[in-house]
Amino acid sequence: MQIKVLGPGCARCKKLLSLVEDAVKELNRSDEVIYVTDMAEIAMAGVMRTPALVVDGQVKVSGRVPKLEEIKELLSAAK
**Residues labelled as active-site residues:** 10, 13
- Given a contact cutoff of 8 angstroms between Cβ atoms, the answer to whether 33 and 5 are in contact is yes
